[in-house]
Structure 1
Amino acid sequence: MSLPSSTAYDVIVVGSGPTGSTYVREVYDRHPTARILLLDAGPRLTDAPGTHVKNIPDPAERARAQRASEGPGPAGRPGTRLLDAPELPAAAVSTNVGGMGAHWTGACPRPGDGERIGFVPEAEMDAHLTRAEQLLHVDAHAFDRAPFADEVRRRLSTLFDAGRPAHRRVAPMPLAVTTRPDGAHAWSGTDVILGGAAADERVEIADRCLCLRVVLEGDTATGVVVRDTVTGEERQVTARAVVVAADALRTPQLLHASGVRPPALGRYLNDQPQIVYAVRLPDDVVAAHRAVTGRTRDEDGAIVPQSGVSWVPYTDAHPFHGQVMQLDASPVPLADDTGIEPGAVVGLGWFCAKDITADDRIEFDDTTADAHGLPAPRIHYRYSDRDLAGIEQAKKAVAEAGAAIGIPLDDSPFLLPAGSSLHYQGTTRMGAVDDGTSVCDSHSRVWNTRGLWVAGNNVIPTATACNPTLTSVALAVRGADALLAHLEATGNRSAAPPSRLTPSTP
């Protein structure tokens, strides 16, 4: 379908990725009568909306789903299209029901040390993270049968664990995966987050439906204007609350187009510099740990049991996040077929925490339109001297890790083009007070605008190195608490927007 079937809902969510779907699920589970509209400018790829494309058994069907996600423009990584952003040349987006949740690697580490948000109470954040793990079906033991994973982690632990607290030592990577009835694993997409909500009549999913602007009456968001991308027909739809979860690049664009323009909008753009390296395990290790399963991933979409994903956590003393993936575990191919036994090729990816500055930003041109008629974006982005020094340190660390694991397949670690991580953050960042350096409060409510929430990696205000999805889903859980309170209060329209220079409150 395209245009919504009704003109009035309780909640409208713009963007069907992991955080938008979290708002839908939390409101659906906890408000027995709320009617929810979930909008996405892209197509539905699978019968169950938001299924991870790697779970599609047929390779040709999977490739078609990835192409359908790319939208207009040059293709980037499968399922994405590149933006015209010279200073962030690998910047890319997906446009499909499920968003990047249909294409991601499923890594769900908890943030630690300086990655944590200081003004969100620690106990509350831990509870939100636990709920996020439930929604995503996070499992740290999905690959316990992997024949080489224990050896990879043993070697990494010897190198990195000294002096670390127990919860920040080398460990299996917590992954968003679901266990099938036959015991095999599949990647969690947003279909897993939505659960039964996707099939309930109280929840409507409108695909190929582009949100053009949020409608404001004074300081209150009252709905959205949408366009059917197939027919071009437009319609205004009302709601008591609007959540914009259109990713870190398009969420600030939509707010700008709607006239919601706090000083921090689009600023503090944060992408994680990514260093990669590949090695293979020594022949004697492969021989000692070899196990033949007979399953290949393409047979039925399952993750093969030889897979393994390991985690070197971020710490303030080691301000990098290591994601160590045995070749066949990655939804993104790490290398061409080398003829080496599956699982014996190990890809190391080190993500760096970047300096956060207001100068790294997206600005929007009201005189020039993009392909959808919205204000055209321009990205400003650069590495500071401190960033460049950190990148060199990360290269050294990943080279040491590779040498500890096995035999290099690359001459040396190399830095991927800026934007390659797809972990864009900060452009609608949260803050403790509205002092001009944030867009929303700690419950993701846009400052001075009643009934409007933002969601996604873009609300994360800290310099992170770990994969951000678990954190952003946890913050969506937190935001949904405030949204549900808003729904209860708006029977008499008495709920006030978060006010300038006042601390965030539930």
Structure 2
Amino acid sequence: MNPAAVDDASRYPAEVDVAIVGSGPTGAAYARILSEEAPGFTIAMFEAGPTVSDPPGAHVKNIEDPARRSAAQRASEGPGAGADTVSSPGAVKSGDRRARPGTFLLDDGYAFPGEDGLPVAAMSTNVGGMSAHWTAACPRPGGSERIAFLPDLDELLDEADRLLGVTTDAFDGSPFGAVVRERLAAVVDDDRAPAARVQRMPLAVHRRADGRLVWSGSDVVLGEATRANPDFELHDESLVTRVLVDDAGRAAGVEVRDRRSGETHTVRARAVVVAGDALRTPQLLWASGIRPPALGRYLNDQAQVVFASRIRDAERLAPAAARDQVAAAGALSEQSGVSWVPFTDDVPFHGQIMQLDASPVPLADDDPVVPGSIVGLGLFCAKDLQPDDRVEFAEDATDAYGMPAMRIHYRLTDRDHAVIDRAREEIVRLGAAVGEPIDSRPFTMPPGASLHYQGTTRMGETDDGESVCTPDSELWSAPGVYVAGNGVIPTATACNPTLTSVALAVRGARRIATSLASK
């Protein structure tokens, strides 16, 4: 196909090889792999939200000025900007229904009588999606978290590491990091395989030559290969309202509404990638009349238990320079780093231990005498997957974007409650190993707090009605339409899902590159 022909009446191309809906890390992964492996393919990426950073898609933590950082977060909150559901100090402890900065909540439809619902199910609308706001944790799945029918999973995860810029040494200079891991290991590592022992958290973070930390967003995933690709275009404030299919049910393009002008345009495409989150990807497919039986089902969140502990003997352990350090506004004090307690099938939760100023969950005020000496502990629990946990869409109501309104049905099973109870006991044990607990009782976050929603466009080995897409992320029911994001993950995971989602996107992008090249 020739380079995209541009309609004079539109800022959009009339036709491309690949249309990508969503600019988060998985949409960016499709653009990057196609730019590297299929030069000459025309690619258009559409994002409903605005550009909030420079370069586009960068993490807001990289914005040094606090006022500009806050402005970028507000611009990402879509219809929630300025709402009373935006987070404030103390919201977690009080149990208020609040969203983290940079995200917004559903106005309604998040819970129904007799169900737990997902009261703090959150989204963001901006170039880069949630990767402009995330904690950048990129652990690998283990045990039953892994997708057994993908023989190339490890190679795909390696590639995801490359795209996200994952490192394990960004916090090696933190004076408390080794102490935290040593104390955790003493109560965790017995009888565990080496890969499942306490270790540094793999993070999509690197350190610049001047010593400053840089957090990866979609900008890192896109990379120079995509930015330098003359056949790639990123269109912000562009809401895709329908995926188009031809008479044979194959991908034909998208309808996109220019949110600046209000006009709607058609962009033809040989392949379409829907790379929204686990709530809005099925929403778009449903609105497009693409409604396989498993669409929206197997919705799962990771129940999250949190705790805070002050590192024992911090004054003695911290070097004088660390005791005197005062963190700049919004910056990390970099004292205790980020540590990882991996999931195992016997211990079905994933542990993330980090200093409070790195955590999105405020549990206590940090120690002014020894910065970084109060750490937050979080355990994420694997869900007991159920097909009736689902997001549905209204025929007669719309959301703030004019798309079908969401209705979430979600219950915690007896097994889920048992795992949460066990996690509460375990996190107290881990907190005591690290130091002195700030509060004797752990806090169980309201459902939806993890932001790790999965399963709604799940991958399957066969078209058995229980999955939405193939092992290459192509819809069983609409060839040439691909799905991306955490919703594709079919397993019950406890670890942060982004690395796995990007790995699956790599596989899908390679499939597009080979399939379109042969036509």
TM range (shorter): over 0.9
CA contact (8 A) 1:59 1:298 kept: no
> Where do residues 72-221 of structure 1 align in structure 2 (5 Å cutoff)?
72-73=79-80, 74=83, 75=86, 76-83=99-106, 84=108, 85-86=110-111, 87-121=117-151, 124-196=152-224, 197-218=226-247, 219-221=249-251
CA contact (8 A) 1:112 1:315 kept: yes
Q: Are residue 224 (structure 1) and residue 247 (structure 2) matched?
A: no
Displacement after TM superposition at 1:199 (Å): 4.7
The one-letter amino acid paired with 1:239 is A
> Where do residues 298-309 of structure 1 align in structure 2 (5 Å cutoff)?
298=328, 303-309=332-338
Q: Which of 387, 408, 419 is residue 379 of structure 1 equivalent to?
A: 408
Q: What secondary structure sits across from 1:237 in the alignment?
A: strand
Closer/same/farther in 2, CA of residues 314 and 137 from structure 1, 3 Å limit: same
The one-letter amino acid paired with 1:362 is V
Closer/same/farther in 2, CA of residues 158 and 451 from structure 1, 3 Å limit: same
Q: Which of 481, 486, 501 is residue 472 of structure 1 equivalent to?
A: 501
Displacement after TM superposition at 1:335 (Å): 3.6
CA distance in 2, matches of 1:303, 1:201: 37
The one-letter amino acid paired with 1:175 is L
Structure 1 residue ranges without an equivalent (≥5): 491-506
CA distance in 1, matches of 2:475, 2:208: 40
Closer/same/farther in 2, CA of residues 339 and 23 from structure 1, 3 Å limit: same
Displacement after TM superposition at 1:338 (Å): 4.5
Displacement after TM superposition at 1:297 (Å): 5.5
Q: Which of 263, 266, 272 is residue 296 of structure 2 equivalent to?
A: 266
CA distance in 2, matches of 1:271, 1:357: 12
CA distance in 1, matches of 2:486, 2:204: 17
Q: What secondary structure sits across from 1:204 in the alignment?
A: strand
Q: Which residue of 2 aligns with 1:45?
A: 52
CA contact (8 A) 2:325 2:371 kept: no
Closer/same/farther in 2, CA of residues 439 and 291 from structure 1, 3 Å limit: farther
Residues matched between the structures, number:
485
Displacement after TM superposition at 1:10 (Å): 1.0
CA distance in 2, matches of 1:448, 1:72: 32
Deviations 1:17-59 (Å, cap 9, x if unpaired)? 0100000000011111111111110000112110000110000
CA distance in 2, matches of 1:248, 1:432: 20
Root mean square deviation, CA, Å? 1.6
CA contact (8 A) 1:327 1:342 kept: no
Q: Percent identity?
A: 57
> Where do residues 455-470 of structure 1 align in structure 2 (5 Å cutoff)?
455-470=484-499
CA distance in 2, matches of 1:383, 1:158: 32
The one-letter amino acid paired with 1:189 is G
The one-letter amino acid paired with 1:78 is P
CA distance in 1, matches of 2:321, 2:434: 22
CA distance in 2, matches of 1:111, 1:280: 29
CA contact (8 A) 2:340 2:352 kept: yes
CA distance in 1, matches of 2:366, 2:375: 13
CA distance in 1, matches of 2:227, 2:445: 37
The one-letter amino acid paired with 2:437 is P
Q: What secondary structure sits across from 2:241 in the alignment?
A: strand
The one-letter amino acid paired with 1:45 is V
> Where do residues 426-465 of structure 1 align in structure 2 (5 Å cutoff)?
426-465=455-494
Q: Which of 385, 396, 421 is residue 392 of structure 1 equivalent to?
A: 421
Q: What secondary structure sits across from 1:477 in the alignment?
A: helix
CA contact (8 A) 1:253 1:374 kept: yes
CA distance in 1, matches of 2:105, 2:414: 27
Choose 421-430 or 82-91, whichever is displaced more. Answer: 82-91
Q: Which residue of 2 aligns with 1:502?
A: none
Deviations 1:312-351 (Å, cap 9, x if unpaired)? 0000111110000012333555543553422101100000
Deviations 1:36-87 (Å, cap 9, x if unpaired)? 1111100001121100001100000000000000011343110000113131
CA contact (8 A) 2:60 2:73 kept: yes
CA distance in 2, matches of 1:290, 1:459: 46
Displacement after TM superposition at 1:89 (Å): 0.4
CA distance in 1, matches of 2:320, 2:470: 51
Displacement after TM superposition at 1:489 (Å): 2.3
The one-letter amino acid paired with 2:16 is Y
CA contact (8 A) 2:59 2:216 kept: yes
Displacement after TM superposition at 1:366 (Å): 1.5
Deviations 1:446-503 (Å, cap 9, x if unpaired)? 003121100000000000000000000111111111111121123xxxxxxxxxxxxx
CA distance in 2, matches of 1:250, 1:3: 25
The one-letter amino acid paired with 1:241 is A
